[in-house]
Amino acid sequence: MDIRSGWPGVVNLAEAAAVGGAVVHRRSLADDVYERLIELLLEAELEPGARLQIDGLARVWQVSQTPIREALARAEASGLVVRQPLRGYQVAPLLSPGEFEQLVEMRLLIEPHCAARACERADDDVFDLLERQQAVMRDSPKGPTSHDYRDYLRADIAFHETIAAASGNRFLPAALAVTSTHAHRFRRFGGGTITDATDSLREHSVVLRALRARDAEGASVAMRQHLLGVAERGRGVVSLPVQERPSSSGSPTGWPSSPPSSHAAAGSHVNAE
C-alpha cells in the first residue's frame, strides 16, 4: 500500500517531514517522538479522520515503530487521536460545542490559579521570557497557512506553559498541555489565518503587567478575562456544523480534489509494508 501525500484519508507524510526529520533525543526517545507528533497534529494540514500510518511516520522520523505506537497511545488517551478497528489511528474529530465548553471550564480552573501562584514564585527571568514570547507572537506571520503561523502558535502555547510552570506545581503544566493542544486545533479551522492576534496580545500584556507588579489577584483576573475572550472568539467556529467549518486549505473538508502534483516534497510517497 502506498502512503501518498494529499490523498483523502491518509496523513500527508511530507507534512510529517516538515515538522522535523530524524528525531533528536533531548529527553527520552518516547517523549521526543510524542512532542513531534503533537507538532504534527497542531501544525500540519491534517483533517479529522486522516489516518496516521505507524510505519510511514517511523521512516520519516527515523525511529522504530515502538516509540511511534507509544506516542499514539498517549495522544489517544488525551483525545487527540482515535483508534479504529482494522484502520488503526486517525486524527480525532474536533471537540463538540459541549466538549469545547468543558475545555474552557477546565482552563478557567487551572490557569488563573497558575497566574496567581506565578506572581508569588516566579523571578524576573520568567517575566523576561514571557516578554520574548510576546515579541515572537507580535512579529510572526499570522497566515495564510498553518505553516506560516507556526511560530506564533508555538509562542502562544509557550506563554501559557511558562506561567503554569512558574506556579511551582509540577502537575499543573501537564494538565494544561492537553487542554491547550485541543484549543489550538481550532485555529486551523478559522480560514487558515490567525484573526484574534491583536486581542490575544493585548490580553497577554495585561496578564504580564500584573505578574511584574506581583499582583496575584490582578494576574488571576487578567488570565480569566483572556480565557473568556479566547472562548468567545472560538465559539464562532465551534458552533458551526463540522461540514461548514472553514479549513486552512480552502475546501469544506480540507482535502484536495485531485491527486498530488509531481513536485510533491520528497518522502511524500512511502511504501507501507
Cell triple for residue 60?
A: 520519516
pLDDT at 12: 54
**d(C-alpha 73, C-alpha 68), whole Å:** 9
For the domain made up of 2-94+251-267, the CATH class stated in words is: mainly alpha
Cell triple for residue 41?
A: 497534529
**d(C-alpha 175, C-alpha 186), whole Å:** 19
Question: 89: how many CB neighbours lie within 10 A of its CB?
Answer: 24
Poorest-pLDDT segment among 121-130, 153-162, 242-251:
242-251
Does 2-94+251-267 match 97-238 in CATH topology? no
Instruction: For the domain covering 97-238, report its CATH number.
Output: 1.20.120.530
Tracing cell 502558535 back to the chain, one arrives at 153
Poorest-pLDDT segment among 27-31, 92-96, 191-195, 248-252:
248-252
Poorest-pLDDT segment among 16-20, 141-145, 224-228:
16-20
What's the mean pLDDT in 20-36?
A: 72
Query: For residue 118, what is the enclosing H or E element?
Result: helix 97-121
pLDDT at 79: 85
DSSP calls for 227-273:
HHHHHHHHHHHHTS-GGGS--TTSSSSS--SSPPPTTPPTTSEEE--
pLDDT digits (tens, 9 = 90+) for 168-185: 999 999 888 878 777 777
Name the pTM for this structure: 0.71
pLDDT at 244: 46
Domain ranges of the chain: 2-94+251-267, 97-238
Cell triple for residue 156?
A: 502562544
Of 190, 151, 186, 183, nearest to 48 by C-alpha is 186
pLDDT band per the 50, 70, 90 thresholds, residue 125: very high
Poorest-pLDDT segment among 9-13, 102-106, 124-128, 228-232:
9-13
| Residue 82 φ/ψ region, left for φ over 0, alpha for ψ in the -120 to 50 degree band, beta for the rest | beta
What's the mean pLDDT in 100-127?
A: 95
Poorest-pLDDT segment among 48-57, 118-127, 228-237, 238-247:
238-247
Poorest-pLDDT segment among 132-136, 189-193, 258-262:
258-262
